[in-house]
Structure 1
């Protein structure tokens, strides 16, 4: 981390730059933006997405990207649509990882969904540490997981999750935008381990400007890298391009006059920070950047503190990447088609999503909750008696000699169990009229 501080300090002190684009990560930005505030030089980042970074606290920090908090309502809406009542949040122990957690928990609380456990992993966690945490998660009842971590950790995490059988039926996984934007550039083995995962990403409308750029980008890439397969430019690449344009437009408007630093009087034994000058045009440049608005590759680009998004795409990881299954907007909730957003009603229904292939190549929606493998089954006492067999009837299977329980009461019970938002393992225990056995049973069907 010291490297990034030294680079930024060198740029400000020795080169007297009037703006810095970067740093790349939220953790790096956390150290550098204080220098920008001190020198009154805008620090513009298109990839530092942690909500913990705020222009309210550090006014010379400009986020040229969406805050991670912008996606939490979209994720919560998906959880609500499938009636999942418990979710485990899995994240890395960095500024990027922890910043979103309070917003996720608040969004889940608003839809009456509990977060019974938060799984935290170091970005340099060993494979054994990852496996230990996965085994711990397997012993819990919750089967819905929201994952928010960098690709370097997530790639190892999902490979191990597949190895231990957690990418099979009954499991539901949702990844945040930071990972979904990299699906097209991920290693094939990692994408294969994530089959059935759901994810959200900001919606970028296709435009003539974006089409033309993609053509030029493809031609340039293949010319310079004829033996390499080109990865699609993701949202961060588009934000980077638009950020450079925004700064160029603002700098052109401000002009190049009086672009110098004011320096404090030289005093012996001053530190590098205390000798850092102050930009004379910094305040004006910052104001101009925040007022700059134009239509860029990523859509309407306005840096009033940070970007805003009017919609998110909902994707299902199938094959080599993410397949679009719907959209989410703040006004209309979940939509199958974005151009169908004429309704005035907010919909959290999963019926508005396209067909989903869940982990384990299943087409059935995971219930989100199961009795752990070491859990006990619910025992249901069924009386063996003459008469009223249309309500409860106990017979023996001629092949296995196991009891076969049928009847109207059994049908009603099975229908009620099927409506629960989780699995409930159970078994029917036939018994005679002896009252001594009744006390050992969990439930009676009379």
Structure 2
């Protein structure tokens, strides 16, 4: 996920070299980290990775005789500073990079990683355009938003809504995530009626203007895809605008669950604002190891060693360190020597403080990448294993609902079984069936405290009435014809429509739009095509 409350983190794993070639296992492997220290995700990831490095160094079965050394650099949520920090650590002989958290930073550093053949493993950059084809040295130990948006589209389809309004932060993470949602909705004959981007540094006025404009539209189902926001600014404004009522639906991607988990327990006022919101959380199976680590985290909080509650990205960060450590261990066992070569083009560059002419290509980068792709172990977050696209093999998502100032689990989603009240790991393979008949979630409490599924749309106000194309014929005028000197229509078909409208239990503003000149019969095929294409200028 992105600006979640984690720090855009780049962890660099390297070795101190006394020469360019080793004849035996290195004594020290430098593990560097670049991240935004004052962020939701970063605060948890830093502590989790430090714990992982400590555990690796204390484990006699891995990297025997070699110690991991942890080095940090602050990216401050900046692509520029993150890139500079990466270069600083790459000068020290880095053999792998863990991170970053931010998709924008990941795009930049992936190019650098390609050039120097250094594997880049991110635990939090979810932008689906970070592809294996463009960035062959990029791996993702977290679920891509391509996967999350399939879950979100299924959720929208499950409740039978047809159109949504998407609110997102206007950066690589937000734009590309919503683009993936658009694609998934299109597969289900659904659509995004309006896309509402927010500036990266959005304020309350931005949110107010955007939400006020959205109320002129018909859909009342909102999908919110922004970064972690402990102040819950968007929902605070929505409540003030009376948009957290039973007429509205609010769906959130996993930024919300990360925020809630990181600041648990949330204040009562924050949870009151979120009444009825439904969100997704990356699923992590329960295990003895996970429970032990959660207990250990609680002790670190009590001792002041951690400043944030544990969230799913913290679990991912911990497992990522272990994945890199296992791969380096396997590499050293087979090859021992870790060598770097100078790039002729970099050698020709004028020296600078960053010393670009001293950067070296990791000779064993492709081999270490292969070792990473062979990773397979059970970590705190579940099975750590990469698929052919170099994304983690997903364990699915939890579906959560905020009600009565508490977070409730209403079910789970996986790409093999869809929605279920059982965790994905508890569903037998023969029971997997991806059809509406087998989908199930527990009861949801919607905004306003309603237990009834919201309709998800409202008839637009009188400024945007329902516009009805009516053939303005020269014959059979008793069925429909335009009155002289105005746009009013009359006839048998018009009378039927008016009577049928009386049966609808809510007001439907409408306006008849004559189609044709009244002197010759209009072409019905053209009229139907214009309706299908939503073209109105000629009606």
Give TM-score scaled by structure 2 length.
0.66
Q: Distance in 2 between matches of 1:376 and 1:40?
A: 56
1:246-395 equivalences in 2 (<5 Å): 246-255=323-332, 257-265=336-344, 266-267=347-348, 269=350, 273=356, 276-304=359-387, 305-338=390-423, 339=426, 343-348=431-436, 352-374=440-462
For the 8 Å contact 1:80–1:348, the answer to whether it is kept is no
In structure 2, runs of 5+ residues without a counterpart are 1-78, 467-495, 510-539
Between 161-170 and 261-270, the greater mean CA deviation after superposition: 261-270
What is the match of residue 26 of structure 1?
103
For the 8 Å contact 1:12–1:39, the answer to whether it is kept is no
For the 8 Å contact 2:163–2:192, the answer to whether it is kept is yes
Q: Distance in 1 between matches of 2:400 and 2:349?
A: 60
Question: Is residue 2:290 matched to residue 1:213?
Answer: no
1:100 aligned residue (146, 162, 177): 177
1:236 aligned residue (278, 299, 313): 313
Secondary structure in 2 matching 1:19: strand
Deviation at 1:145, TM superposition (A): 0.8
1:72-87 equivalences in 2 (<5 Å): 72-87=149-164
What is the match of residue 123 of structure 2?
46
Deviation at 1:415, TM superposition (A): 11
Q: Distance in 2 between matches of 1:225 and 1:278?
A: 37
For the 8 Å contact 2:383–2:393, the answer to whether it is kept is no
Secondary structure in 2 matching 1:200: strand
Deviation at 1:318, TM superposition (A): 2.0
Q: Distance in 2 between matches of 1:372 and 1:194?
A: 26
Q: Distance in 2 between matches of 1:247 and 1:239?
A: 12
Give TM-score scaled by structure 1 length.
0.79
Cα pair distance change 1:351/1:127, threshold 3 Å: same
Secondary structure in 1 matching 2:408: strand
Deviation at 1:275, TM superposition (A): 5.0
2:220 aligned residue (143, 146, 157): 143
Deviation at 1:73, TM superposition (A): 2.1
Question: Is residue 2:266 matched to residue 1:184?
Answer: no
What is the match of residue 86 of structure 2?
8
Secondary structure in 2 matching 1:117: strand
Deviation at 1:346, TM superposition (A): 2.6
Deviation at 1:222, TM superposition (A): 1.3
Q: CA RMSD in A?
A: 2.8
Q: Distance in 1 between matches of 2:96 and 2:439?
A: 48
Deviation at 1:154, TM superposition (A): 8.0
Q: Distance in 2 between matches of 1:259 and 1:252?
A: 12
What is the match of residue 198 of structure 1?
278
In the TM superposition, what whole-angstrom CA distance separates every residue of 1:119-164 from its partner, at most 9, and x where no partner exists?
A: 1111112321211100001111110011111024982212111111
Secondary structure in 2 matching 1:181: helix
Between 55-64 and 148-157, the greater mean CA deviation after superposition: 148-157
Q: Distance in 1 between matches of 2:409 and 2:438?
A: 14
What is the match of residue 60 of structure 2?
none
What is the match of residue 62 of structure 1?
139
Deviation at 1:216, TM superposition (A): 1.9
For the 8 Å contact 1:334–1:349, the answer to whether it is kept is no
In structure 1, runs of 5+ residues without a counterpart are 379-408, 419-423, 428-446
Q: Distance in 1 between matches of 2:121 and 2:161?
A: 38
For the 8 Å contact 2:224–2:252, the answer to whether it is kept is yes
In the TM superposition, what whole-angstrom CA distance separates every residue of 1:267-322 from its partner, at most 9, and x where no partner exists?
A: 36367556531012211111111111101111111134111224322111224443
Deviation at 1:373, TM superposition (A): 4.7
Aligned length: 386
Deviation at 1:417, TM superposition (A): 4.1
Deviation at 1:203, TM superposition (A): 1.9
Deviation at 1:340, TM superposition (A): 5.7
In the TM superposition, what whole-angstrom CA distance separates every residue of 1:342-362 from its partner, at most 9, and x where no partner exists?
A: 535434369822121111112
What is the match of residue 444 of structure 1?
none
Q: Distance in 2 between matches of 1:234 and 1:31?
A: 26
Q: Distance in 1 between matches of 2:399 and 2:146?
A: 16
For the 8 Å contact 1:184–1:320, the answer to whether it is kept is no
